[in-house]
Every structure is written in structure tokens, then in C-alpha cells.
């Protein structure tokens, strides 16, 4: 059934038939799966001059099909990315107890070889270039793509900053992504 859904997805979206590797299947903590076509990994970061406040930071994005670890770009084609969390409870603005989650580890499995990765932001040089006298802060890594019905979806994979928080709700928390 899963393969039939992927075939239907591949045939129904424009341009997808030419690129079979453009399907990423995200598995959520509630056990559901969400196939995304025309997917990309999107890194969001901010930069600001050394002489100014972070309040004036410019938020930028870098899109691609590689996982960035420090200064290395790792291809994810045909690989599986697994995300591990530390779950906790916190109190929201209304005093209600709500779930929280922090990514504690990543692992990338390709061709039967599993590599453990640290959930740290990419190096400044890789995302922002050789900017001099500029502060840099990685914010978040998202998986962006289109569902079977053509709806654009953005799933938070890892937050690198307290300024961005990925959802801890099981129906929105990604535990693995299989890149096909």
C-alpha cells in the first residue's frame, strides 16, 4: 500500500516522474507517515553586523538536498535520517502544562551504514559565506515539500536556537525521514 501511494504521488505531481528521488517520507511520532514530493532541506539563519544589536538581524534561508554537519555537506539521497528527542513538560503562558521536546541526536543511515551526528547548526562559512565582522546564528532545519494533494508543507526537524521551537505534539514531531 505504501508503494502504491508513492507511485500515485510520483505520477500525479508535475515534474516528479522525471526525478524519482524527489520523494521524502516523514514519519511522525504518532506513527503516521507523510510523503513529500519536490522536497528540500531548508536551513534558516540570521546575521547582523558586530556593531549592531541582534534585534536588527536579517533572517535568511538556504535550500538544498544535503544535510549540513559543521562544514560538510552530506547527501541524503537514498538515506534515512532518524531524530531522537528528550521529552519534557513545560508551562505555557496560560499556566497549562504542555509537552516539550529537544533534539538530542541525529543518525543518518545509508547503504546499511549508520552515522551518528550532533544536532548542531552548520558552520557560518557554509551558510553565510566569508562575511567579516558579522555575527551568525543558526535557527532551524526544516523539511519542505508538497503532499499528494499538492499542499505545501513545512516540517521542523531541528531547532538550533531558543528563538525557534519545533512542535512536541506527536502528530507534528518528525522522528525519521526516508529520502527516496
- How do the domains of the chain map onto residue ranges? 2-179
Dihedral, CA of residue 62, residue 65, residue 69 and residue 74, to nearest 10: -150
Taking Cα atoms as reference points, which of 169, 160, 168 lies closest to residue 137?
160
pLDDT in tens, the chain (180 residues): 444 444 444 444 444 443 444 899 999 999 999 999 999 999 999 999 988 888 889 999 999 999 999 899 999 999 999 999 999 998 988 999 989 999 999 999 999 999 999 999 999 999 888 778 889 999 999 999 999 999 999 999 999 998 899 999 999 999 999 999
For residue 86, the model assigns a pLDDT of 96
Dihedrals φ, ψ of 6, to 5°? -70, -40
Amino acid at each position: 500500500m505504501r508503494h502504491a501511494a508513492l507511485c500515485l504521488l510520483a505520477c500525479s505531481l508535475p515534474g516528479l516522474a522525471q526525478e524519482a528521488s524527489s520523494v521524502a517520507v516523514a514519519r511522525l511520532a504518532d506513527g503516521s507517515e507523510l510523503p513529500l514530493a519536490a522536497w528540500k532541506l531548508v536551513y534558516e539563519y540570521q546575521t547582523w553586523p558586530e556593531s549592531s544589536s541582534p534585534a536588527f538581524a536579517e533572517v535568511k534561508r538556504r535550500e538544498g538536498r544535503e544535510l549540513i554537519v559543521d562544514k560538510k555537506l552530506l547527501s541524503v539521497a537514498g538515506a534515512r535520517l532518524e531524530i531522537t528527542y528528550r521529552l519534557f513538560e513545560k508551562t505555557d503562558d496560560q499556566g497549562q502544562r504542555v509537552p516539550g521536546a529537544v533534539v538530542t541526536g541525529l543518525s543518518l543511515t545509508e547503504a546499511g551504514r549508520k552515522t551518528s551526528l550532533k544536532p548542531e547548526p552548520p558552520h557560518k562559512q557554509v551558510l553565510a559565506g566569508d562575511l567579516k565582522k558579522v555575527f551568525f546564528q543558526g535557527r532551524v532545519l526544516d523539511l519542505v515539500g508538497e503532499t499528494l494533494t499538492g499542499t505545501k508543507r513545512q516540517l521542523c526537524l531541528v531547532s538550533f536556537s531558543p528563538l525557534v521551537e519545533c512542535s512536541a505534539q506527536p502528530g507534528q514531531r518528525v522522528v525519521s525521514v526516508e529520502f527516496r
